[in-house]
């Protein structure tokens, strides 16, 4: 009897190991509107994210000072790299422009403009996902620059798939905001 209970516990332990769900945010959103090609080369620096996003488990805030992790919801990518690639792909689509690259790169040509995106908060708390960031666009040939603080709240549920979906929506709004900044630069 004890042996069968022990075997059952081990089997349940192994079966729960396979119940993780893996998520990505690197799939670029589809632009709602595209802009004409500016014939500019755009450099995008690696997106910086809060330290809690470097863990593979999805972070949620229990309070303004307490973060916990959903052990069954796992990021299938490093978010800083995935979000950087997503911004690059989105800007390529938005401007019908293939000349959007990660910066710096080992090329002889310098980009016309460089983009820095720093995410300061990207987390679910209660029934909302919060995304706070700041971005800066700089001319590589003059002292001209443009900066903006960005903040958005998107409704969600406590289900991990809904949290990821709301994070995706929030980041899509940030991408559009950044593209408007690039267009007006």
pLDDT per position in the chain (185 positions), as tens? 444 443 334 333 444 455 788 999 888 878 888 888 667 889 999 999 999 999 889 999 998 889 999 988 899 999 999 999 999 999 999 998 888 888 887 667 788 899 999 999 999 999 999 999 999 999 988 999 999 999 999 999 999 999 999 999 999 999 999 999 998 88
pLDDT (0 to 100) of residue 58? 92
Contact status, residue 1 vs residue 55, Cβ threshold 8 Å: no
Q: Is residue 55 part of a domain?
A: yes
In a domain, 14, yes or no: no
How far does the chain reach from its first CA to its final CA, in angstroms?
A: 74
Is residue 1 domain-resident?
Answer: no
* pLDDT for residue 6: 39
Q: Identify the domain containing residue 138 by its residue range.
A: 21-183
Q: Which of 90, 61, 56 is nearest to 73 (CA)?
A: 56
Determine the angle formed by the axes of helices 160-183 and 79-94, rounding to 10 degrees: 50
- pLDDT given at position 123: 96
Asked, for residue 16, whether it belongs to a domain, the answer is: no
Query: Domain count of the chain?
Result: 1
Whether residue 105 lies inside any domain: the answer is yes
Domain with residue 172: its CATH number is 3.40.50.10610
Residue 135 lies in a domain: yes
Q: Examine residue 57 and state whether it is found in any structural domain, yes or no.
A: yes
> What sign results for the dihedral spanned by CA atoms 100, 106, 107, 111?
positive
pTM of the complete model: 0.85
Q: Is residue 47 part of a domain?
A: yes
Tell me what pLDDT residue 15 has: 42
């Amino acid at each position: 009897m004890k042996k069968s209970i022990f075997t059952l516990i081990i089997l349940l332990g192994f079966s729960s190991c396979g119940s993780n769900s893996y998520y990505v945010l690197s799939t670029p959103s589809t632009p709602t509107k595209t802009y004409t090609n500016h014939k500019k080369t755009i450099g995008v620096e690696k997106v910086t994210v809060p330290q809690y996003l470097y863990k593979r488990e999805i972070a949620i805030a229990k309070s303004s000072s307490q973060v916990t992790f959903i052990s069954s919801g796992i990021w299938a990518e490093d978010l800083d790299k995935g979000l950087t690639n997503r911004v690059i792909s989105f800007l390529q689509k938005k401007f019908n422009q293939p000349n959007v690259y990660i910066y710096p790169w080992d090329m002889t040509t310098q980009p016309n403009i460089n983009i820095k995106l720093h995410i300061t908060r990207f987390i679910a708390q209660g029934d909302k996902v919060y995304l706070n960031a700041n971005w800066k666009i700089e001319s590589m040939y003059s002292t001209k620059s443009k900066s903006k603080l960005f903040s958005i709240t998107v409704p969600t549920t406590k289900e991990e798939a809904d949290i990821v979906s709301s994070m995706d929506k929030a980041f899509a709004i940030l991408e559009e905001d950044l593209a408007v900044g690039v267009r007006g630069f």
